[in-house]
Amino acid sequence: MKHIKYLIVFIFSFFFLSSTCHGADELKIGYVNFSVLFEGYYKTEKAEADLKKEADKKQERIKEIREEINNIRKKLGSGVLKQEEKDKQKGVLEQKALQLNRVIRESKRELEIKRERAVRGIIEDIETVIREYSEKRGYTLVIGNRDLLYVDKKLDITKHIEDLLKKKEIKGNRK
């Protein structure tokens, strides 16, 4: 009985391994360096420029509020104000400090959300080009560079995908 179990396991393993090896002959694998594609994609540069412009606007608003706070502090330290006016200015100062903290917090959150959306859109664009390229050329599997320790250069299709993304940029600029 024990020998029959071993025989069944052996036969099953033989068929499983032979079918796996046969399937490997049909397997076409590609590799892309996603970091290179992401950094070289024209939409990445545009998104970074747009985010910088937005951040600069927000920073300008923060600078204005800080100047208002400094002006109030100067008034309070000048010794010219009556006690009633000092108390009023202290209240304004507290409100401006709260406003400053709120604007900083909201600005940071808004920029993070915009960056996340931009990155997600860029990744979707790149993945779409990779998928279309792979389907058109019969790739069974395309792997990226995350957590990859070694890949044969013959499998690298990064340049092909990069060229397609550049063509997409040219088409996008014509519109």
Single-letter amino acid code for the residue at 73: R
pLDDT digits (tens, 9 = 90+) for 47-89: 999 999 999 999 999 999 999 999 999 988 888 889 999 899 9
- Rounded distance, CA 43 to CA 46, Å? 5
Q: Residue 149: phi, psi to the nearest 5?
A: -90, -35
Task: Identify which of 147, 143, 148, 146 has the alpha carbon closest to the alpha carbon of residue 130.
Answer: 143
Q: In the prediction, which pLDDT does 80 show?
A: 86
Task: Sketch the domain layout of the chain as residue ranges.
Answer: 2-174
Q: In the prediction, which pLDDT does 175 show?
A: 60
Q: What's the CATH number of domain 2-174, 3.30.565.10, 3.30.910.20, 3.30.70.3040, 3.40.50.720? A: 3.30.910.20
Q: In the prediction, which pLDDT does 84 show?
A: 92
Single-letter amino acid code for the residue at 42: Y
Q: Which range is least confidently modeled, 10-14, 64-68, 129-133? A: 10-14
Q: Is 27 in a helix, a strand, or coil?
A: coil
Q: In the prediction, which pLDDT does 25 show?
A: 57
State mean pLDDT over 138-147: 87
Whether pLDDT at 122 is above 50: yes
For residues 41 and 168, is the Cβ–Cβ distance under 8 A?
A: no
